[in-house]
Amino acid sequence: MPEALPDDVEALKAALAAMRARADLAEAELAVAQAEAAEAKAQVLDSQALIAHLKLQIAKLRRERFGASSERTDRLLDQLELQLEELEASASEDELAAEIAVAKTTKVALFERKRPSRKPFPEHLPRERVVIEGPCACAACGGTRLAKLGEDITETLEIVPRQWKVIQHVREKFTCRDCETISQAPAPFHVIARGWAGPSLLAMILFEKFGQHQPLNRQAERYAKEGVPLSLSTLADQVGACAAVLMPLFQRIEAHVLAAERLHGDDTTVPVLAKGKTDTGRLWVYVRDDKPFAGPAPPAAIFYYSRDRRGAHPIGHLATWSGVLQADAYGGYGELYAPGRQPAPVREAGCWAHSRRKFFELADVEAAAHSKARGQTSKAVYPLALEAVLRIDAIFAIEREILGLSPAERKEVRQARSSPLVAELEAWLHETRDKLTRSHDLAKAIHYMLRRWPSFVRFLDDGRICLSNNAAERALRGIALGRKSWLFCGSDRGGQRAAILYSLIVTAKMNDVDPQAWLADVLARIAEHPAQQIDELLPWNWRSSAAPARAA
């Protein structure tokens, strides 16, 4: 039988209060249990996801430096990062819910989630002390004879909104009481004649546009919200002037790149505004990177712009250069490889990562399954394509082991270990192609390699040659990412300016130099810097000499 309820109002209130207390207690215990269960599950999933995340991150870094080990790594990496984000957010949400529930009762111990240890905040950041006044009397006995034992410090990372300021250069005038001559200190050098913008502001505008892919109209909107209205035309005027001022540095980087015996070359599309439409222009890049074989020359990249993709452009870019060119199979390079070419024929080195990609697309089971699930037509998956990928991966594995060795050491290892694998791969390609029809997708991928086989095996006899053209692809990555932001170049002149600024920014990044800090310092000094000492301002020299000088 149900328990009889008392008729007394006070007794009913007491019973209701007791029921509420029991309900709060049960709710708190349930919340803590859910949080603990979520934490346990999150620890397991976090560990599994973290291990996979780190493995894929390592694979990604290796692919960027040595060649593609898995074309679906980016896809999986994004999924894992999203999974980690969701797990962390869910755990925090459960912990907060438990705290709110426990606050209603004093009988349930608060659950605390095990958080990953956080690194201390960087020492170079300024510290602002906010002192919370201590008590004036003892909370236990009311005594006022208190002595300080020490202090506990809790640090919170905070940001101060960007501050704008106007610098006034005051030049006092003096007159001579004897001859009435007026004397005055000379005006300071400006980056741009009759310029109004300081070097740090100019560097920020340039880096935002060409390094962070923020068009000038978006920059102008943001500056206006910060109380500094700057028109689009005003900003564009500064960009054009800076490109002209920085041209000597571009020319020195260009000379440095074209002095290399081996270059990476590639190109990408850039939309260019035309009358009532947009045309497809091109940005070409040539990269000097001797790090794989421990070369002493600093890395650098130069960009050129063109309205189309005719072969005349790379031929003009490399008119006076000869050496080894690592590039894709673009036919426009053909004249560079001609036997009678002057000053000497360019030797072609094929990109193994590019050829591997063709096989991988035919062996990507996961991509085919996703396409089928979405109702899309998927390419056929061939086991033979997977075998080709595995054979090429074995060659890449050797390359990872010899990264940073001298050319002679790399050649010795390649002759001993890579050469047999390459010979087996060539025989397997011929044998497999003979079994396929000419129109078969796999036969086309095989034909792509065999038709250019001398360029693919050239790395066996030259320790300077890399297995892939990833250095050039990395240099173009920012442009590919930024196209969605800046939409198009305004004109051919705009494309040429972009090529100059991309050359400077990408080269700075390749030398581990902060592009914006470097540009700000260069723009502050270049007007009065001796022309014959312009090399001192190049990124690799600026890092080793100019930066310590300023710190002193």
For the chain, the maximum distance between any two Cα atoms, rounded to a whole number of angstroms, is: 120
pLDDT of the residue at 65: 46
Task: Give the full edge-to-edge strand order of the sheet including 262-274.
Answer: 300-306, 277-288, 262-274, 324-326, 347-349
Are the beta carbons of 211 and 257 closer than 8 angstroms? no
Number of other CB atoms surrounding residue 221 within 10 Å: 12
Rounded CA separation 470/192 (Å): 37
342 belongs to a structural domain: yes
Rounded CA separation 164/226 (Å): 9
280 belongs to a structural domain: yes
Phi/psi class of residue 423: alpha, beta or left (left: φ > 0; alpha: ψ in -120 to 50)?
alpha
Does an H or E element contain 394, and which? helix 383-401
119 belongs to a structural domain: no
pLDDT of 32 over the 80 cut = no
Q: Which residue has the higher pLDDT, 92 or 164?
A: 164
pTM recorded for the entire structure: 0.74
> Can you spell out the DSSP letters for 41-70?
HHHHHHHHHHHHHHHHHHHHHHHHHH--S-
Omega before 343 within 30 of 0, i.e. cis: yes
Residue 40's identity, in one-letter code, is A
Segment 131-151 shows an average pLDDT of 86
pLDDT of the residue at 544: 47
Token pair in block for residue 379: 């390419």
pLDDT of the residue at 552: 33
pLDDT bucket at 5, cuts 50 / 70 / 90: low
Q: Across all residues in the chain, what is the average pLDDT?
A: 81
pLDDT per position as a tens digit, 197-211: 889 999 999 999 999
CA nearest neighbour of 364 among 381, 350, 378 = 381
pLDDT of 375 over the 80 cut = no
pLDDT of the residue at 110: 47
Segment 313-329 shows an average pLDDT of 94
DSSP at 404: T
47 belongs to a structural domain: yes
pLDDT of the residue at 68: 44
pLDDT of the residue at 288: 96
pLDDT of the residue at 232: 84
pLDDT bucket at 393, cuts 50 / 70 / 90: very high
Which range has the worst mean pLDDT, 264-268, 493-497, 520-524? 493-497
Percent of the chain with pLDDT over 70: 75
pLDDT of the residue at 306: 92
272 belongs to a structural domain: yes
pLDDT of the residue at 111: 47
Choosing from 459, 484, 509, the residue where a domain stops is 484
217 belongs to a structural domain: no
Q: Which residue has the higher pLDDT, 7 or 87?
A: 7
Which range has the worst mean pLDDT, 219-223, 368-372, 529-533? 368-372
pLDDT bucket at 366, cuts 50 / 70 / 90: low
pLDDT of the residue at 1: 47
Are the beta carbons of 223 and 229 closer than 8 angstroms? yes
Segment 479-493 shows an average pLDDT of 68
pLDDT of 23 over the 70 cut = yes
Segment 486-491 shows an average pLDDT of 61
pLDDT bucket at 451, cuts 50 / 70 / 90: very high
pLDDT bucket at 71, cuts 50 / 70 / 90: very low
Specify the long-range contacts of residues 513-520, CB closer than 8 Å, at least 24 apart: 513/539, 513/540, 513/542, 513/543, 515/207, 515/211, 516/203, 516/204, 516/207, 516/211, 517/203, 518/542, 519/199, 519/202, 519/203, 519/206, 519/207, 520/199, 520/200, 520/202, 520/203, 520/204
> Can you spell out the DSSP letters for 147-178?
-------------PPP----------EEE-TT
Are the beta carbons of 279 and 307 closer than 8 angstroms? yes
Indicate the number of domains in the chain: 2
pLDDT of 59 over the 60 cut = no
pLDDT of 67 over the 60 cut = no
pLDDT bucket at 169, cuts 50 / 70 / 90: confident
Which range has the worst mean pLDDT, 103-117, 426-440, 494-508? 103-117
458 belongs to a structural domain: yes
Does an H or E element contain 263, and which? strand 262-274
Q: Which residue has the higher pLDDT, 122 or 34?
A: 122
Rounded CA separation 100/297 (Å): 61
pLDDT of the residue at 133: 85
Choosing from 85, 102, 119, the residue where a domain stops is 102
Looking only at the bridges linking them, the beta strands covering 182-184 and 262-274 are unpaired
pLDDT of the residue at 224: 92
- Tokens 């034992």 — which residue? 149
Choosing from 444, 459, 484, the residue where a domain stops is 484
Does an H or E element contain 506, and which? helix 492-510
pLDDT bucket at 132, cuts 50 / 70 / 90: confident
Segment 82-97 shows an average pLDDT of 55
Structural domain boundaries, residue 333: 252-484
pLDDT per position as a tens digit, 250-302: 999 999 999 999 999 999 988 877 666 677 889 999 999 999 998 999 999 99
121 belongs to a structural domain: no
Percent of the chain with pLDDT over 90: 38
Token pair in block for residue 9: 């109002």
**Residue 267: strand, helix, or coil:** strand
Which one of 63-72, 158-167, 372-381 scores highest in mean pLDDT?
158-167
Segment 131-150 shows an average pLDDT of 86
pLDDT per position as a tens digit, 220-253: 999 999 899 988 888 888 888 899 899 999 999 9
